[in-house]
Amino acid sequence: MRAILSAPGSRGDVNPMIAIGKSLVREGHEVVISLAEPYADLAQSAGLTAEAVVDRDRFTELLGNEHFWKPIRGARGVLRELAGEFLSLHDDVIRRHHVPADTILVSHPLDLASRIFRDCDPSTPLVDVQLQPSILRTFDSPPRLSPFWFEVMRPPWAVRAAYWVIDHVAVDPVIAPQVNAMRKARGLEPVRRVMHRWWLSPDRILAMYPRWYAPATKSFCPRLVHCGFPLDDISGGDFVPPRGRPIVFTSGTAHHHCRVFFELAVEACLQLGRPGLLLSTFDDNFPPDLPESITTMAYASFGHLLPHCSAIVHHGGIGTTSQAIAAGIPQVIRPLAFDQFDNATRVERLGCGRWLRNEKRLAAILRSVLSDDDESATASRRELAAESRPGEAADVAAAEIISTFQRKASP
């Protein structure tokens, strides 16, 4: 079997898709993956055939735009990019590597090219990999998509109406023309409300999180399978644990604009009398003349690092969120865009941490989550950490991909 995967986005998008690809390779299958050029070597070293569809300069340009990290502008920017150049580039990858009767498509949540190809060739199965629950529309318990108090969360009929407005005003105008142009070129009828139901695979949907993290997504069953958190950050080499169980601060591997946040982090650590560890792949984010108790690092395997830390303050990406849950440490989430508001809400609901709504209260909130007095929160973190099993989710996902291919291939 040849699996063609897609992973547009930053490391949080890439790691789980490569982990799934590694599991497929171990089972003797061939894997091709399209992704941004900075991550091509990671895929190659994992035994996958990498297709770099976003060059390094373009990737840096996109993520370096501060508007990319805003709740509304960021979402529209992502959709515009994916419906533009990535749509045609990944379609080209599929067409070059597709082998009739021997291929399965495994799509990132925002890969629309694979969905169009599935309509063109129903004999080629498609498996959606949903990395976070925020993209799946559940009406009785909807995901939180913004920091705004007036976001419609109930009743279900009002949530449905809100999605209708979002589709007609914000989503379809950005992506439907390009999607339907490609569909027309292939002899297919146009689609409306692209992100409502059509874009989901009719064959299989894999939720890369446990059911307890987003119970409402069970409404998509039976074609949805909850695989669990991937927890594989594709890291090798030696690891030296930090001293003193520091508090970790990060805004994600792709974020260029967190100097002010790191300055607040240093102040908070000094107020609390605790060591801190600042993580960023961009040196310009680090404040100068840091005190000895504050260290910096470009990148770290959270699976290795977080068990040696006392807490983490982060942006709320699903990869970082799940690693903090698995490590059983308290987390403070400072969401900026995309799925991050939803993850912050779920972490608070599970008793694993807090949403940082006011950065001036960073020290106070850290003091609260680090307190030994909150026995219920400590118990919740321990219980959920025990249910998180590194490596298992990628193998479950790979098994589902293989079985989906075999069912499609059976007469």
d(CA 301, CA 242): 12
Whole-angstrom distance between the N-terminal and C-terminal Cα of the chain? 17
From residue 89, how far is each of 6, 68, 351 by CA, in Å? 11, 21, 42
The burial class, CB within 10 Å (0-12 / 13-18 / 19+), for 76 is middle
Sign of the C-alpha dihedral computed for residues 76, 77, 78 and 80 taken in this order? positive
Q: What is the pLDDT of residue 294?
A: 96
Angle at 102 between CA 97 and CA 107, to 5 degrees: 60
Contacts of 47 (CB under 8 A, 6+ apart): 21, 22, 25, 31
Do the domains spanning 2-232+391-409 and 247-387 agree at the CATH topology level? yes
Instruction: Write down the H helix ranges in 110-213.
Output: 112-120, 156-166, 172-185
CB atoms within 10 A of CB 288: 4
> In this predicted structure, what is the pLDDT of residue 329?
94
CATH class of the region 247-387: alpha beta
pLDDT in tens, the chain (411 residues): 999 999 988 888 899 999 999 999 999 999 999 998 999 999 999 999 999 988 888 777 766 666 556 666 656 666 666 666 788 999 999 999 999 999 999 999 889 999 999 999 999 999 999 999 998 999 999 999 888 888 999 999 999 999 999 999 888 998 999 999 999 999 999 999 999 989 999 999 999 999 999 999 888 878 899 999 998 887 766 778 888 999 999 987 667 778 899 999 999 999 999 999 999 988 888 999 999 999 999 888 898 999 999 999 999 999 999 999 999 999 999 998 889 999 999 999 999 999 999 999 999 999 999 986 667 778 888 888 888 877 799 999 999 999 999 998 776
Task: Dump pLDDT digits (tens) for 285-327.
Answer: 899 999 999 999 988 889 899 999 999 999 999 999 999 999 9
Query: CA-to-CA distance for 279 and 283, rounded, in angstroms?
Result: 10
SS3 content of the chain, % helix, strand, coil (to 5): 50, 15, 35
- CA gap 353, 374 in Å, rounded: 11
Handedness of CA 108, 112, 113, 115 (dihedral sign): positive
Query: How far is the C-alpha of 277 from the C-alpha of 297, rounded, in Å?
Result: 7
> At the topology level of CATH, where does 2-232+391-409 sit?
Rossmann fold (3.40.50)
CB 74 within 8 Å of CB 68: yes
Where b means 16+ CB within 10 Å and e means fewer, 102-138 reads ebbbbbbbbbbbbbbbbbebeebbbbbbbbbbbbbbb
Which amino acid, residue 384? L
- Amino acid identity at 40: A
Cβ atoms 130, 137 nearer than 8 A: no
> In the chain, what are the domain boundaries?
2-232+391-409, 247-387
How confident is the model at residue 174, as a pLDDT? Answer: 87
pTM for the predicted model, two decimal places = 0.91
